[in-house]
A and B are shown apart, each in its own frame.
Chain A
Amino acid sequence: MMAYVVITYLYLAILLYLVLGGADFGAGIIEMFTAQNNISRTRKTLYHAIGPIWEANHMWLIIVIVILFVAFPLIYSQLSIYLHVPLVIMLMGIIARGTAFVFRHYDAVHDEMQQLYNRVFVWSSFVTPFFLGVIAGSTISGHINLKATTYLDTYIYSWLNWFSLAVGLFTVALCGFLASIYLIGEADNQNDRLRFIRKAKQMTIFSVTAGALVFVSAVIDGVPLVQWVFADRVGLAAVIAATASLVILWILIDTHHIMIPRLLAGFQVTMILLAISYAHFPNFVILAPNGTFSLLDDIAPESTVVALGWALLLGSIFILPALFYLYYSFKKKVPEPLQP
C-alpha cells in the first residue's frame, strides 16, 4: 500500500520538477533566443519572476533522487553506472546554472563580468534540461545493456541514440514553452507582453516539432512509443487531451487571460508525461535486449518503504502549504488593466 504512496510521490516529483524547474530552465533558454535590444528587459522580468522560487523549484530533483536511492536502490545504482556520462554532464550544467544565476545578481559590482555570467547561465540552461531529457529517454529506449562487454556499448551507446537525443531536445523545447507562457503574465507593459506572446508561439511550434522528432526517432531506434501512446487507452486519451488543450491555449494566448494559459501549459506537460509513462508502468527502466527494472518488483523492503512513505506524507504537510504561500506572496500583484 505504502509502495503506491511512494510511487505516486516519485511521479509527482518528476512532474513538478519538469513543470517548475523546467520553467526555470526555460527562462534561460528564452534568453538565448531573445534579441540583444530586448534582452535586459527580458532578464529583469525573468529575475523578478524566478528570484524567490528558483531554489525551491530545484528541490524536486533532490526528492526524486532520494526516493530512488531509498526505495528503488537497484534502479538508482544501475542507472548511475550505465548513464554515468550524461549524469556528469547534467551535473556540470546544474553547477554552472545555479551559480551563474546567483552570482550575476549578487555580484556587488556590475561590470563586464555580467557578460560571463550571462553566457554561462544561458548555455547551462540549455545543456541541463537537454541531458535530463537524454537520461529520461535512455531509461526507456532499451539501449542499457547489462551484458555489454565493451566500453562503448556499456557507457556510451546506452544513451547516445536518436531517441534519447530527441527526448533531450524535446525537453529543452518544453522548458522554453513553459517559461514563455509563464512570462506573458509577468510582463508589466504592453510591448513586453506582445513580445512574450510571440516568443510563446515560437516555443509552441518548437515543442510540436521536437515532439514529432521524438516519434520519428522512436521508429528509427525501435522504441515502441507509437504503441505506448496510440495503442493504449490511457495513452491515447492523454494525447487527445494534450492536443485539445494546445488548441485552446493557442486561441487564448492572445487574450488577456493569465492563469488559464498557465494551467493549460501545465496540464499539457502532465498529459505528455502520462502518455509516455503509462503503457509500460510499472516498468521504469527498459533494458537491452529485453528485461526491465520494475517499480513494483525491484523495490526496497517493506520497512523502508513504509518509513519513506510516512516521511513523504508528513513532510508534505509542512512543505506544500509553505510552498503555496511562497508562490502566492511573490506572484505579481493585481494585474494592471493593459492598455490596448
Chain B
Amino acid sequence: MPVITNSMTTFVARFTIMNDLLAARSQMALSLGFHIIYACIGMVMPFFMAVSHYQWIKTNKDVYKNLTKAWSKGVAIFFATGAVSGTVLSFELGLLWPAFMKHAGPIFGMPFSLEGTAFFIEAIALGFFLYGWDKFNKWFHWFTGVVVGISGLASGILVVSANAWMNAPTGFDFVNGEYLNIDPIAAMFNDAWFSQSLHMSLAAFAATGFAVAGVHAIMILQKKNILFHSKAFKIAAIFGTVAAVLQPISGDFSAKDVARRQPAKLAAMEAHFHTQESAPLIVGGIPDMDKKEVNYAIKLPGMLSFLAHGDFNSEVKGLEEIPEEDQPPVAVVHYAFQIMVGCGIIMMLISMAFFVALLKKKWFYGTWLLKLFALALPLGFLAVEAGWTVTEVGRQPWIIQGVMRTVDAVTPMPGIAWSFYLFTLVYVMLSVAVIFLLHRQIQMVPVLYDKGPGVSQE
C-alpha cells in the first residue's frame, strides 16, 4: 500500500501551480489562521488580568500589580496585531470574495455591525485601561479592564455567529438565484450560532490558558522569578483547564449538530465513506480516496453512530450518498479533525491531573506537572487551527452551505497567487516580530516587574 497517495500528489501539484481560487482560499485561510491567535489572546487575557488586578486591589501585594502590568504589555502587542489583521480581514472579504459579499453582506451584516460596536467599546476601554493606571479610581480602572474582556468576548461570539450563518444559512429565500425576503435577525440567530460560539469561546480560553500557563511553567522550571511566575501560572492554568474539560462536552454537542445539518462535513471528518448503521468511530488512519476505505485506523464499533445521533444503532450517512461535486476534501478534514480531538483529549487529561494536584495542594512542587504544561503549550492553538480547518474545509465546495459555491464567489481579478505570497511574507515577518518582542518582554521580567531575584514579595 503506497504511502504517497494520488490525493497527496495532487495536493502538492495544486499548491505549486496555484490557481486563483486556491490562492484566494489559501490567503483567506492564512489571514484567518493568523488573526485567530491574536483574537483568542485579546479575548481571554483581559480576564486573567482582571483576576490578578483584583487580587492586587484586595491584598495590596505588589506581585499582583507587577503581574497585571507585565501581562498588559504583552497584551497590547497582541492586541495591535489582532486589530490590524482584523482590519485586513474586513477588506479581504470583499477583495477575495466580492460575489459572496454582494449577496451575503445584507443578510449576515447584523452580527458584523454589532461586532463593530463591541470592538469600539473594547478599543475605548483598552485606552482607559492601558493608560489610566494612576489616573482614575482603582475600581473604575479595574472595571475598564473587565469591559475589555467582555466586549472582546462579545465580538468573538458575534463574528462566529456570522460564520455560523455560512454553515446554516437562514433568514432569506433563495428563489431563482435571488436572495429575497431578508430577515437579518433570523440570519444572526441561525441554527449553528450557539454551538459554534460556545465551542469557540471555550477553545479561546483553553488555548490561551494553556499557552500562557506553558510560558510561565517554563520560567518556573528555569527557576526565574518563581513567585511572580507561579501566581501567573495558577491563574492561567485554572482558566485553561476548566475550559479544556468543558470543551469535549461542547464538542459532542457540535458534532451532533453538524451530523444533522452538514452530513458531508461529518462524513469527511470521519472519513466515513459508506452509509451504515452502527457506524464505527475511526481514530487516526489514512483515507484512501480511490478504494474508499481508511487504512491503519483504530475502529471503535458503533461509536460514530452514538457520537452523531446519540444512538449506537443509528444510521450515519456516508460520503457515497453525497454527489462527488458536493464533497469536501476528505483527507485534509479527516487529519485536521483527528489533530483537534487528539490535542483536546491530551489537554483534558492534563487538566484532570492538575485538578487532582490542586486538591492535594502539591501542584507547585510537582515538576512533572509543570513539564506537562510546558510541553502542552502549543496544543490549544494547534487544536484551534485544526478545528477551523475542519469547519471551513469541511464546508467546501460551498461558501454558503447548499446555496453558493466557493468557486462562484471568488474575485475575477487574476494573479491572486501574488497577493497570497505577499500576505504570507507579511504575516511571517509579523510573527517573527511578535515572538521576538515577547521573548524580550519575558527576558526583562526581572528588570521591569520583579526586582530582586528569589526574594519573597509577600
A-side residues, CB < 8 A to B, are 51-53, 55-56, 58-59, 61-63, 65-67, 69-71, 73-74, 76-81, 84, 87-88, 91-92, 94-95, 98-99, 101-103, 106-109, 151, 154-155, 300-301, 303-304, 307-308, 311-312, 314-315, 318-319, 322-323, 326, 329-330
User: Assuming A94-B87, A99-B433, A329-B135, is B412 touching A81 (CB within 8 A)?
Assistant: yes
Size of chain B's interface in residues, with CB distance under 8 A?
65
User: Assuming A69-B109, A91-B91, A329-B135, is B183 touching A102 (CB within 8 A)?
Assistant: no
Please name all residues of chain A whose beta carbon is closer than 8 Å to the beta carbon of B368 when the two chains form the complex.
none
Of the A-B pairs whose beta carbons lie under 8 Å apart in the complex, a sample of 14, sorted by A's number, is A73-B101, A73-B106, A77-B94, A81-B412, A84-B95, A84-B413, A91-B88, A102-B76, A304-B184, A308-B110, A308-B113, A311-B113, A315-B114, A315-B116
> Please, how many angstroms separate the alpha-carbon atoms of A151 and B418 in the complex?
15
Contact A103 B109 (CB under 8 A): no
Partner of A65, one of B85, B91, B411, B433: B91
Contact A51 B131 (CB under 8 A): yes
B-side residues, CB < 8 A to A, are 73, 76-77, 79-81, 83-85, 87-88, 90-91, 93-95, 98-99, 101-107, 109-110, 112-114, 116-117, 119-121, 123-128, 130-132, 135-136, 182-185, 411-414, 419, 422, 426, 430, 433, 437, 440-441, 443-444, 448
Contact B433 A103 (CB under 8 A): yes
Please name all residues of chain B whose beta carbon is closer than 8 Å to the beta carbon of A322 when the two chains form the complex.
121, 124-125
Per DSSP, chain A at the interface is helix
Please name all residues of chain B whose beta carbon is closer than 8 Å to the beta carbon of A315 when the two chains form the complex.
113-114, 116-117, 120
Please name all residues of chain A whose beta carbon is closer than 8 Å to the beta carbon of B102 when the two chains form the complex.
73-74, 76-77
Contact A69 B131 (CB under 8 A): no
User: Assuming A55-B83, A59-B116, is B110 touching A87 (CB within 8 A)?
Assistant: no
> Please, how many angstroms separate the alpha-carbon atoms of A81 and B440 in the complex?
41
> Please, how many angstroms separate the alpha-carbon atoms of A32 and B76 in the complex?
25
Please name all residues of chain A whose beta carbon is closer than 8 Å to the beta carbon of B419 when the two chains form the complex.
88
- Please list the 10 inter-chain residue pairs (A to B) with the smallest Cβ-Cβ separation, ordered nearest first: A70-B109, A80-B94, A73-B105, A300-B106, A102-B80, A77-B98, A315-B117, A108-B444, A52-B127, A304-B106
Please name all residues of chain A whose beta carbon is closer than 8 Å to the beta carbon of B80 when the two chains form the complex.
55, 98-99, 101-103
User: Assuming A65-B91, A69-B109, A88-B422, is B132 touching A319 (CB within 8 A)?
Assistant: no
Of all chain B residues, the one with the shortest Cβ separation from A13 is B116
Contact A107 B437 (CB under 8 A): yes
> Please, how many angstroms separate the alpha-carbon atoms of A62 and B86 in the complex?
9
Contact A95 B413 (CB under 8 A): no
Contact A77 B88 (CB under 8 A): no
Please name all residues of chain A whose beta carbon is closer than 8 Å to the beta carbon of B73 when the two chains form the complex.
106, 108
Partner of A70, one of B105, B126, B414: B105
Of all chain A residues, the one with the shortest Cβ separation from B186 is A303
Of all chain A residues, the one with the shortest Cβ separation from B171 is A303
User: How far apart are B423's CB and chain A's nearest CB, in angstroms?
Assistant: 9
> Please, how many angstroms separate the alpha-carbon atoms of A77 and B105 in the complex?
9
Known contacts A80-B411, A102-B80, A304-B184; can you find 15 more A-B pairs with CB under 8 A? A58-B83, A59-B123, A69-B93, A69-B105, A69-B109, A76-B105, A77-B99, A87-B91, A94-B87, A94-B88, A102-B79, A107-B440, A151-B414, A304-B182, A315-B120
Please name all residues of chain B whose beta carbon is closer than 8 Å to the beta carbon of A95 when the two chains form the complex.
84-85, 88, 426, 430
User: How far apart are A21's CB and chain B's nearest CB, in angstroms?
Assistant: 11
User: Assuming A66-B116, A80-B95, A109-B440, is B184 touching A103 (CB within 8 A)?
Assistant: no
User: How far apart are B434's CB and chain A's nearest CB, in angstroms?
Assistant: 8
User: Assuming A51-B131, A108-B73, is B113 touching A312 (CB within 8 A)?
Assistant: yes
Of all chain A residues, the one with the shortest Cβ separation from B122 is A55
Please name all residues of chain B whose beta carbon is closer than 8 Å to the beta carbon of A301 when the two chains form the complex.
106, 182
Contact B124 A319 (CB under 8 A): yes
> Please, how many angstroms separate the alpha-carbon atoms of A107 and B434 in the complex?
10
Contact B114 A311 (CB under 8 A): yes
Task: Indicate the member of A56, A58, A80 with the most B CB atoms within 10 Å.
Answer: A80
> Please, how many angstroms separate the alpha-carbon atoms of A303 and B108 in the complex?
12
Please name all residues of chain A whose beta carbon is closer than 8 Å to the beta carbon of B448 when the two chains form the complex.
108
Please name all residues of chain A whose beta carbon is closer than 8 Å to the beta carbon of B437 when the two chains form the complex.
103, 106-108
Of all chain B residues, the one with the shortest Cβ separation from A299 is B106
Contact B426 A56 (CB under 8 A): no
Contact B116 A63 (CB under 8 A): yes
User: Assuming A84-B95, A304-B184, A307-B184, is B112 touching A66 (CB within 8 A)?
Assistant: yes
Partner of B84, one of A65, A88, A99: A99
> Please, how many angstroms separate the alpha-carbon atoms of A144 and B80 in the complex?
34
